Structure 1
Amino acid sequence: MNIDDEFAGAGEGNEGALLGLRSARLSRRSFLGGSAAGLGALGLSGCLTADDMMRAEAAKLYGPVPNEQYAIPAVDVSRVDTKYFRQKVRYDSKEAPGTIIIDPGKYHLYRVEGDGMATRYGANVSRPGFLWSGEVYVGRKAEWPTWTPPKEMMARQPEARKYAGGMPGGLENPLGARVLYLYKNGVYTVYTIYSTCDPDTIGQGITSGCTGLLSQDMLDLYARTPVKTKVIMLPA
């Protein structure tokens, strides 16, 4: 389904974030030169694999963020495939630096950096039946946003009605610490890029059209993404 045809799953985007509530590659030389403390924290000893080294560095990248309005816990990196850790990668694109490209087939979100490079983040994406593709843009953004379930969701899940007036921001809020709201032709598509503290969702198709990043990744992307940024959803 193409976003130009219709806003597929209208009223479902925030529900997709609710379903989602449940990368830094290091060279061997630099790792051996300065990551002993990280290894100790992970309880690693003896011969180390490339994955061990990546997880040791990721434990620092995805550590706790205590100075937020709500303290964000560390990610259990043992529960995330190493290919989903945030990292700079080669990525040929004609799009301008800053453009966001989501590849749902690979569960990756790219921020184009220019010169053939991009920052790549692991993501959760739409589940079957809610996949879409096309070009949208960031229409607005928010920190620790209020979440309001769409009426379609409340009809199917009566327990959500208690949040009809809005669920305040916080760690239990489906949208998490940061959210980018996606628009098309001045209209909110009901899709978002949101943050999650649940590492088990990364690399999964679980939402109703939204894309989720680990909170630490979303803090990074959010800080570098202004309103009006182009977002491209590739076909699955």
Structure 2
Amino acid sequence: MRLRLRLPILALCAGLALPPLTPAPALAFADNKFFDPVTQEWVELKVTPEVAGKIARRKFKRKVVDFNGPEAPGTIIVDTEARALYHVLEGGEAMRYGIGVGRDGFTWQGVQKVTRKAEWPGWTPPPEMIARERKKGRKLPAFMPGGPNNPMGARALYLGNTIYRIHGTNEDWSIGQAVSSGCFRMWNDDVEHLYSQVPVGATVIIR
């Protein structure tokens, strides 16, 4: 019975179709858990990175939203807590994108300018990151050329003279999560869209 409850849930998350099953008691959901009426317990819903990416794409889909802030059109606003990036448009609107943000201890705030733009950028991990990951048993390359396997993704917007970027990712599941070392991740199609709209010199406000 428990297996019968879980399969449809995962299938719905993945957008798959299943043959009709015997009706089951109604389920209650909260975050990544569901209430099993048989055991009377909350059960954590285990999902693969692929399924998590599909769920994130529905939740953080790019869309135009109302905007009534004082920032001028062309400004980029990063809302770390909401996991959202807003590109202010004309007419009281903004394009909202889902993002991945820095994990605990790696978040930051401030105002920067876009000082450089790059397509399929290479990745040079900073020395402190290389040392930090080495302690975890993970060896990072001194440099990785741009490409589909590069964690910087398809495009990058460089922020001031910092080591931080707004960039793409090859890990769809990470959008909406706090997993980076301070950069802001976007899906490749989203960062390509933003990249085409934003010039060097644009103001970026990180909150």
TM-score (norm 1): 0.62
Counterpart of 2:204 in structure 1 is: 231
Secondary structure (helix, strand or coil) at the match of 2:186 reads: strand
What is the identity percentage for the equivalent residue pairs of Structure 1 and Structure 2? 45
Q: Aligned partners of 1:153 and 1:76: how far apart in 2?
A: 26
- Cα shift at 1:132: 1.0
8 Å CA contact 2:53, 2:173 repeated in 1: no
Is 1:106 equivalent to 2:106 in the alignment?
A: no
Between structure 1 and structure 2, the one with the greater Rg is: 2
Amino acid at match of 1:196: T
When residues 75 and 141 of structure 1 are mapped into structure 2, their CA distance, relative to the original with a 3 A threshold, is: farther
Secondary structure (helix, strand or coil) at the match of 1:222 reads: helix
Is 1:143 equivalent to 2:119 in the alignment?
A: yes
- Cα shift at 1:77: 6.0
Q: Aligned partners of 1:75 and 1:224: how far apart in 2?
A: 30
- Cα shift at 1:44: 6.4
Is 1:182 equivalent to 2:155 in the alignment?
A: no
Task: Give the counterpart of 2:61 among 85, 94, 114.
Answer: 85
Write 1 or 2 for the structure with the bigger share of helix.
Answer: 1
Counterpart of 1:168 in structure 2 is: 145
Q: Aligned partners of 2:156 and 2:162: how far apart in 1?
A: 14
- Cα shift at 1:43: 5.5
Q: Aligned partners of 1:77 and 1:156: how far apart in 2?
A: 27
| Paired residues, number | 159
When residues 154 and 168 of structure 1 are mapped into structure 2, their CA distance, relative to the original with a 3 A threshold, is: same
Secondary structure (helix, strand or coil) at the match of 1:232 reads: strand
8 Å CA contact 1:99, 1:231 repeated in 2: yes
Counterpart of 1:156 in structure 2 is: 132
- Cα shift at 1:157: 2.9
Q: Aligned partners of 2:170 and 2:63: how far apart in 1?
A: 19
Secondary structure (helix, strand or coil) at the match of 2:164 reads: strand
Q: Aligned partners of 2:180 and 2:110: how far apart in 1?
A: 17
Task: Give the counterpart of 2:194 among 221, 226, 229.
Answer: 221
Secondary structure (helix, strand or coil) at the match of 1:157 reads: helix
Amino acid at match of 1:167: M
- Cα shift at 1:81: 5.6
8 Å CA contact 2:53, 2:174 repeated in 1: no
Secondary structure (helix, strand or coil) at the match of 2:131 reads: helix
When residues 91 and 100 of structure 1 are mapped into structure 2, their CA distance, relative to the original with a 3 A threshold, is: same
Q: Aligned partners of 2:155 and 2:56: how far apart in 1?
A: 20
Task: Give the counterpart of 1:94 among 70, 83, 89.
Answer: 70
Q: Aligned partners of 2:182 and 2:122: how far apart in 1?
A: 19
8 Å CA contact 2:149, 2:170 repeated in 1: no
CA-to-aligned-CA distance 1:127-164 (integer Å, 9 cap, x gap): 11111111101010101111111111222334545x22
Counterpart of 2:168 in structure 1 is: 195
- Cα shift at 1:105: 0.7
Q: Aligned partners of 1:90 and 1:44: how far apart in 2?
A: 35
Instruction: Pick 1 or 2: higher relative contact order, CA cutoff 8 A, min separation 6.
Output: 1
Task: Give the counterpart of 1:207 among 180, 186, 189.
Answer: 180
TM-score (norm 2): 0.71
Q: What residue ranges of structure 1 are gaps of 5+ in the alignment? A: 1-41, 46-73
Task: Kindly report which structure 2 residues correspond to 1:42-57, keeping only aligned pairs within 5 A, or say none.
Answer: none
